[in-house]
Structure 1
Amino acid sequence: MLFTDLIASLKAENNNSEYEVKRRHTRRDGDHCVAVIDGSIYPVQNWSMGGTLIRADERLFGVNDEIPVTMKFKLGNGIRDIPQLARVIRKSHGRIALQFAPLTQSTQRVFQRVINDCMSTEFVESQMA
């Protein structure tokens, strides 16, 4: 009986039948931002401190390409530019997934300020509705 309970508990903890994705960083969508690559502006579908998903012509990018990208955020006090090196990790259906190179502490702080500003704006807007 003890052996059966052990097997049942292992199955419960390691259920491979369900697809589960664990992300390091929370995705954000709805923020007013774009990505600038080689002087071209691309709409951002979502982003996190780990990378971004942009809408673009797939033919312009190759998987594993390393590219400099500047994230531009419209904040309450103007536009904030955050340059960052990224790698194309996936592309399909007009969307390009970029993974940021490891962030410096300074860049992490700037991204966190952007998140804080966006959350503050969202809160204020929710109170005005």
Structure 2
Amino acid sequence: MLQTLLSSLRVDASNDRQETKRRYPRRYVDRCVAVVHGRTFPVENWSLGGLLLQADDRLFGNEQDLGITIKFKLRNNILDINHSATVVRKSNGKVALRLEPLSQTTGHQFQQVIDDSVAEEFAVSQA
């Protein structure tokens, strides 16, 4: 039994990819802001499950439900996505929001942002 405990605590030296607890990968490359109660906040990163805002954490309460508009700068236009979110964590000028489950339309809008980013990266690589 002691051997089992020790082997479970041992760290493996390996190049294998570490398991992540996140449902969706974070995206840092997109230019976007979030509008909450008429105030605009920079988005540090986002995923299909949530986003991290740079904001005064005193403006938000834990587990507060919010209506948000996320504005993405695409290559040819600005895409506004309206959705609901819940504050899950806040500290040191950052506020983490969990997005409510996405409707099919909202999911397509987020996919449009990802597709636009991939197309832009491809165009830059070909230049």
Displacement of 1:39 after TM fit?
Answer: 1.0
- SS state at 2:122 partner: helix
- SS state at 1:99 partner: strand
1:30-41, aligned counterparts within 5 Å?
30-41=29-40
Q: Which has the larger radius of gyration?
A: 1
- SS state at 1:64 partner: coil
Give yes or no for the alignment of 1:93 onto 2:105: no
- SS state at 1:86 partner: strand
Displacement of 1:125 after TM fit?
Answer: 2.2
Taking structure 1 as the reference length, what is the TM-score of the superposition? Answer: 0.83
1: distance between equivalents of 2:10 and 2:50? 27
Displacement of 1:16 after TM fit?
Answer: 9.0
- SS state at 2:85 partner: strand
Displacement of 1:121 after TM fit?
Answer: 1.0
Give yes or no for the alignment of 1:75 onto 2:62: no
Displacement of 1:126 after TM fit?
Answer: 3.3
**Residue type matched to 2:81 in 1?**
I
Taking structure 2 as the reference length, what is the TM-score of the superposition? Answer: 0.84
**Residue type matched to 2:47 in 1?**
S
Aligned to 2:57: 58
Displacement of 1:127 after TM fit?
Answer: 3.4
Aligned to 2:15: none
Displacement of 1:122 after TM fit?
Answer: 2.0
User: Kindly, what percent of the aligned residue pairs are identical?
Assistant: 46
Provide, for residues 77-125 of structure 1, a one-character-per-residue CA deviation record: whole Å limited to 9, x for no partner: 2000000100000001100000001111111111111111112112222
2: distance between equivalents of 1:36 and 1:73? 11
2: distance between equivalents of 1:80 and 1:110? 8
1: distance between equivalents of 2:106 and 2:36? 18
- SS state at 1:76 partner: coil
Q: Which runs of 4+ in 1 moved over 2 A?
A: 15-21, 125-128
Structure 2 gaps of 5+ residues are 13-17
1:1-129, aligned counterparts within 5 Å?
7=4, 11-12=7-8, 21-128=20-127
